Amino acid sequence: MSHSNEATNGYACPSGDKECPKNMDRKNEMRLEFDSRSCNEGFVRVAVAAFMTQLNPTLEEVADVKTALSEAVTNSVIHGYEGDVQKITITCYIMEQEIFVEVADKGCGIENVEKAMEPLFTTKPDSERSGMGFAFMEAFMDEVKVKSVVGEGTTVFMRKKIGQAYNKFDQ
Name the active-site residue from 41, 45, 61, 75: 75
Q: Return d(Cα 8, Cα 21) in angstroms, integer.
A: 14
Length of the chain: 171
CA distances from 50 to 18, 100, 151, 156, 166 (A): 29, 14, 33, 20, 19
Q: For this structure, is 159 an active site residue? A: no
Out of 41, 61, 71, 98, which one is annotated catalytic? 71
Is residue 110 within 8 Å of residue 154, measured between CB atoms? yes
C-alpha span between 91 and 104 (Å, rounded): 8
The H-assigned helical ranges of 76-132 are 113-116
Tell me the backbone φ, ψ of residue 138, rounded to 5 degrees.
-65, -35
Active site residue 112: no
Any idea what DSSP says for residue 161? Answer: E
Q: Catalytic: which of 37, 129, 138, 143?
A: 129
Task: List active site positions.
Answer: 71, 75, 129
